Each structure stands twice: as C-alpha cells, then as structure tokens.
Amino acid sequence: MHFYLRLLRSYLENKRGGEVLSVTQSATLIGIEAILVSVEVEVSCKLPAINIVGLPDNAVKESRERIRVAIQQCGFQLPNRRITVNLAPADVRKEGAAFDLPIAIGILKSTGQLETKRDGEYLLLGELSLSGGLRPITGALSVGILARKLGKRGVILPRQNVLEISCVSEIEVIGADSLVEAAAFLAGEKELHPDQGGVSRVLEFPLRKRSDLDLNQVISQAHAKRALEIAAAGGHHLLLIGSPGCGKTMLAERLPTILPSLTVEEMLETSQIYSALGMLTPDVPLVMERPFCAPHHTVTKCGLIGGGQVPKPGSASLAHNGVLFLDELGEFDRPFIDALRQPMESGKIVISRLRYSYSFPAKFQLIAAMNPCLCGYLLGGPKECSCSLPEIRQYKSRVSGPILDRIDLRVELPPVALDELTRGTAGEPSAVIRERVEEARLILLKEGMPIHRRELLRRCAPSVLSLLKAYHQKLHFSARGYQSLFSIAQTIAALERESAMREDHLLEAMQYRSPVVERLGEAA
C-alpha cells in the first residue's frame, strides 16, 4: 500500500514539474553501414544534470557541454532540471558528434519550447558549435541510404553534407546552418527547400581530373604495356618484377587511365566508404574516378586490411572498385600480404569481434611491383648483382606461394637503355587503349565472365586442350592457376573482338602465367 502511495505522489510531483518524454530519430555507423537510433529525452524534477546513456563514446558524452551552451546561445532556455538522454538500441556503441542536433531538438521538445510532429519523418544529424551552428559529419551518405530503406521522408543535416547525400533518390535532403534553422523548419515556421536526389543529380557533378598521367609517357616496355591492357580489360591482378628505374611504378600509376569509368552504382558503393571515414568534402562530394591507393610498405595491418578498437576500413577497402598498388612488395610484412588472400577471392573483408562482425567491401585490382633481389640488379642493369644465392632465396620467400597463385599476370621488365629513353617511341595514348578495354569488357560481360572451367573446356577446340595439357604436365599449376590461364586467354580473345579463344591466345596467356619468382633463384 505504501508503495503505491509513493508512486502516486511521485507521479503528481512530476506532473506539476512538467515531466515530458520526447523521441527523435537519428543514426549511427556500424562499419560503413548506418543503423537507426532513437534519441529519447526525459526532463524530470531532480538535481540538475544532463546524463547520456546507451553506450556513448567520449565524443557523445562531451556533447552535454556543447548542447548546453548552444541552446542558450540560440535564445532558448535550458531548464534547471535533470535531463536524461537514452540512445536506443542501448547495446550498440554510439560514436561521433552527429547526435548533437537530435539531442538538442529532443530537449526543446521535452521542455515545451518546440512543438512539432515532423521530426518523426526525418533522420536528424549534426554537430553543434558553441554558437549553435551546425558542422559537417561523417557517414552522411550511409544515413541517406538508410533513410530511403526505412521509407523516411528525408534527412536533416548540416548544409555542408547536402551534396554528398543528394545522390540518394526518393528522399528529401534538408540542409540547415544552425539549430535555430532546423528547429524553425520542424515547427513549420520556416521552409527549407529540399535537395531532391537521384541518379540525374550524380551526373550533374563535374568530373574532376585527378592528374595528367598518360600511358604514352612510358617509353619502351611494350610487353609490360600489353600486360597492363590485359589486366585492365579482364580485371586481373598483376605483378611487375624488374630492376630499379625500369618503369614499374610509372606503369602501375597509369593503370586507372585505361580503366572504364565507374558506373553510378560503383560510385555510390565507393563513396559510402569514403563518407564513413570523413574523406568527402563539399568540393569532392562523390568519388567519380576509380580509386588508386598505394600504401607505404611500413603500413600496419589495420591500415592495410582495416580494423582497430572500433573497426574502420583500410587501404584495401579504399581501393574498392579501383586499384590497390603495393610498391616494393618484398618489403611488406609477409603476414600483411597474406591477409589479402581472402579479399582477393571474395571481394570483401570481414572483421569479427566478440559482439559484432564488420564487413567492408574490398573488390580491388591488385598491382604489385618488386625488385628481383635485395640489390635489385639480378635481371640486369647498370650494376652487377651483389646478392648471394641464399639472400636471393630469402628475398624470394617474402612473397608466399598462395599469394602468387592468386596473381594472374606476372611480368619481367628489362632495364631500359639510355638510347631507348632518348629515341624510343611513346606508344598509344591512354584514351585509345581505354576504348579497346571498354569494348573487351562488353564482350566479356556478354559471355558471362568468369566462366566455369567445365564450360570453358566445352568451348575449347581439341588443339587448345592438347596444348593446355602439355603445359600443365610441364609446370603442374593448381586448379586456380588453371582457371586463371583460361581467363587471361579469354580476355586476350575479347581484346581481339573474338568470343572464342584460339591457340595463339592461350600461348600468349602462358607467357604471363610463367613462374617468374620461382626462376629468380635459377637466375643467380
């Protein structure tokens, strides 16, 4: 009996004090995917304080002071009561300062300073400055995709993030400059014109040319250029081996210039990764060119693959739909290189933790470059090789067999003489090669590549099969190498505008599947 009397007295006291519970909706990132977060705010007649619960990180906890000052600077009143903020679901860690705006709006609603029902139709995000202005956030593109998936009317966020999210169709993107402006829109006192997104909006963005690189800037190395063209047409991984200064890095850096342009879907996929890391700006609101990531060989495993206390994408994911270039492959730690084996096959990286599993897309094209030995002159050059046979074998062992088996094309680059640099021909420009690559990809797409081995065997002529059998008896390559050899030959056929491979296509493919690294010890 006494319990119910105390409960009734507490209820009446709270009613006299104006206790109100309000709910606004926001989002947080798990990896690069956004999930819905309900921001519940309660104001009660207890000792003054602002408490935030629901697994907030330090940036969220510190929002108490930012929100307190921002509300007062904007002309609103902060009640001298206890404010409790719950970020639900409570078992998901919340990070970042994007909850400032929804928490502030929730406080204004709970204290009766803002009357609106429109906030349930929008997801709210934004970091508050002490003056009440809104600062840009990370992961806005993922939030826009979530809003469309949930059937929300739109998203209210800082104006600096509008271009980034405007490519998402079927939602309204409301950009606000301050807490006052967002509150006035929710109250219906001010109209903010929404940015209607969609594919047409993406195509309006100006294409930013990254550099003036062109493949005709590389003198000589015709064999390597041919391998680069095959790699671009078929999406094959490529290993370049040669002495210092023979053009390995120059060739790798120019691969994106002959790759087909990104599709709209690929733009959104890639931009979502960069958005989650805060790498998109109002000047570059969308990734419109194929990425080219070249981490240094001193990179950590988290920096290359992704991870950390709160897992984030690494260079392998930043190269999604683009090129991952590992220069001086032999200088990378072997476990780091071996960690790329699974994403090279599956196109994604899965990082498992005790309570969560994070999946990052990583469909990259690997281009690696390495010297043949420690001094670099085993295959020729201006100096003689000074490495002993054990040193050469030790250097060769830094790259494991399973990684080499996953690299389709392996090319030796001879040293370039001074006469070739001064008199050599430049070759075709990237634009001409890109046209052939795009046409070959259309042929491969029509053929349904990659084709299963059984289907390839059925399509091959008997002469091609006998040639393949003789090659296999000599080198004894794996089933993966078997499939890779067929894929290279099919790509070569597509570059010649043919759908069926011939013997000469297979012979050329064999040149690129030869065990280059295994022969380095014999060259000593």
Q: How many residues can be counted in the chain?
A: 524
Q: Which of 398, 429, 444 is the last residue of a domain?
A: 444
Asked if 204 and 210 count as a contact pair (C-beta separation under 8 A), the reply is no
Asked if residue 433 and residue 342 are part of one domain, the reply reads yes
**pLDDT, tens digit, for every residue of 215-247?**
888 888 888 999 999 999 999 999 999 888 888
Euclidean distance between CA atoms 408 and 480, whole angstroms: 9
Asked if 165 and 141 count as a contact pair (C-beta separation under 8 A), the reply is yes
At residue 518, the 3 state secondary structure works out as helix
Pairing of strands 172-176, 154-158: parallel
Asked if residue 284 and residue 235 are part of one domain, the reply reads yes
Q: Which of 419, 444, 469 is the last residue of a domain?
A: 444
At 173, give phi and psi (nearest 5°): -110, 110
Per-residue pLDDT of the chain (524 residues; tens, 9 = 90+): 444 444 445 444 444 444 568 899 999 998 899 999 999 999 887 777 888 998 888 888 888 899 999 999 998 988 888 899 999 998 888 888 899 999 999 999 988 888 887 778 899 999 999 999 999 999 999 999 999 999 999 999 999 998 888 888 888 899 999 999 999 999 888 887 776 555 556 666 655 555 688 888 888 888 899 999 999 999 999 999 988 888 899 999 999 999 999 988 899 899 999 999 989 887 778 888 899 999 999 999 999 999 888 889 999 999 999 999 999 998 999 999 999 999 998 999 998 877 778 889 999 999 999 998 888 888 777 788 888 888 888 888 888 888 988 999 999 888 877 777 776 666 789 999 999 999 999 988 877 655 555 555 556 666 666 777 776 666 667 777 778 888 888 899 899 988 777 878 888 888 887 665 555 545 44
Asked if residue 279 and residue 154 are part of one domain, the reply reads no
Asked if residue 299 and residue 180 are part of one domain, the reply reads no
Closest CA to 492 of 469, 517, 512, 472: 512
Asked if 54 and 28 count as a contact pair (C-beta separation under 8 A), the reply is no
Segment (H or E) for 233: helix 222-234
The whole-number pLDDT of residue 456 equals: 58
The whole-number pLDDT of residue 191 equals: 80
The whole-number pLDDT of residue 202 equals: 60
Euclidean distance between CA atoms 269 and 449, whole angstroms: 22
Asked if 140 and 164 count as a contact pair (C-beta separation under 8 A), the reply is yes
Which are the contacts of 515, defined by CB distance < 8 A and separation ≥ 6?
Answer: 404, 410, 475
Euclidean distance between CA atoms 174 and 191, whole angstroms: 10
The whole-number pLDDT of residue 384 equals: 84
Euclidean distance between CA atoms 505 and 496, whole angstroms: 10
When divided into structural domains, the chain yields a total of 2
Residue 229's CATH number: 3.40.50.300
Euclidean distance between CA atoms 261 and 322, whole angstroms: 10
Pairing of strands 134-135, 154-158: unpaired
Task: Identify whether 482 is part of a domain.
Answer: no
Euclidean distance between CA atoms 149 and 141, whole angstroms: 13
Asked if residue 323 and residue 228 are part of one domain, the reply reads yes
Euclidean distance between CA atoms 251 and 222, whole angstroms: 11
Interhelix angle 503-512/479-495, rounded to 10 degrees, is 120
Asked if residue 198 and residue 229 are part of one domain, the reply reads no
Euclidean distance between CA atoms 89 and 98, whole angstroms: 16
The whole-number pLDDT of residue 415 equals: 84
Q: Which of 141, 170, 202 is the last residue of a domain?
A: 202
Asked if residue 298 and residue 196 are part of one domain, the reply reads no
Asked if residue 221 and residue 195 are part of one domain, the reply reads no
Place of tokens 């994604």: 348
Residue 107's CATH number: 3.30.230.10
Asked if residue 141 and residue 76 are part of one domain, the reply reads yes
Asked if 314 and 302 count as a contact pair (C-beta separation under 8 A), the reply is yes
Enter the pTM of the model: 0.86
Structure tokens that stand for 210 in this block: 């990254």
- Please, where are the H alpha helices in 383-451? 389-396, 401-406, 418-423, 430-447
- The residue range of the domain holding 349 is 215-444
Helices then strands, each counted (H, E), the chain: 24, 19
Asked if residue 353 and residue 248 are part of one domain, the reply reads yes
